[in-house]
Structure 1
């Protein structure tokens, strides 16, 4: 499943720029209906990428498509059935792994595992599969204020619940530990890196902190594939979503994921629309 997904990613990035442009949202393609999902060029944040939602989302899901963030991809015709099956199989397998982890976390915190899992029912979940390509020779997009390290991706925390990342042999990913030190996360075959996101921090009442991370610039071509596990639009970003007692850390427990995501998007250059 992973090998087929990585081959599908390479196939997409090998397309001519004008063909990838067909998948771009309105910011780069004024013929597009999308404002959220799709391809973004490397001029945005150093890396080139493709954001995809749940492959189960269909034109018949009109109620969902009428809401923000639910969008069908407009992909080039060269991407045939085999390509789409590779994406669908990977999305299904990795999102199921993510939900299993959420169930375990909810249970460990004394919550309701089944209730927690229901927040990610497909295709209502807003989970995002992203294909990232850092080109060879990429100049650093930022110099770390912490230690002067040259970065290919700035220091940040993810917005969602969990991020399940498959990286390649190039590596470069670093995470900040509890003491504030940067730790390298080297490539290991047949493994995923799992980061906790800002939504999970809120849902756990602050008990599970979002992981700050960055990518050190190496100048080498790097392909990474994160799946951002995200709940449905109407799920409260609060302990109640995990079946936990209220523990409102910032006075925003009534906020839905739809509104939470809108506020979070402002922090990421690739989502400036």
Structure 2
């Protein structure tokens, strides 16, 4: 009987000690990267910081790139919130240098994550390269960094960006935003910029982008219920509807019209003219 009582006391003491230990022990801190699901395309170390560039794509490519940035303090390992960041990508060619269309960098719901987009007109090569210039400020101090980045041609070889001279003698950049095509009526979006100088590109509003999707390998047939792209002031881009009636290769023929409905670039598709000089390509 005494042995049983002693055993009960030992069990009770053991439970009590364990309970006290559980209550007093602080949980280990968990640091989660909100961009863990994205691809780290580039990272730059300078000024005691690591700047990280993320994308849904595995690499930077010509055309539209939506990018996310973080700044890590290397002394603490913590990401820095509430910073102000600006950027200027520059392509260094053999004969000249130029920038490209880009958005401002804005804050997101995650206070250490910043977001923007860049439209690269051309890929890097052995003799010509892109440089990303960044300026960022926090805590009353401003820092700068410049690093070379690699921009690749799309792996599928499809055209998603057009650089062209309009009938108004202005140079434009028109890029398709990311699209996961389906046999359905798809939401199609694009961004349009006018080149004001080698380093300055301005977004253009209130134009119209007419579309006529065709399947060149299937008699060049079109599809019903398409809607031309018009400017969406809330989203800050052009939006329309793209009807895809079957899988395969599609050429999305385009025409750019200004605010006076004057055609600046592109031709109508007819029996005599199978495609426009302004177009996007998809295959799925």
More strand per residue: 2
Structure ranking higher on relative contact order (CA contacts 8 Å, 6+ apart): 1
More helix per residue: 1
TM-score by length of 1: 0.28
- Which structure has the larger Rg over C-alpha atoms? 2
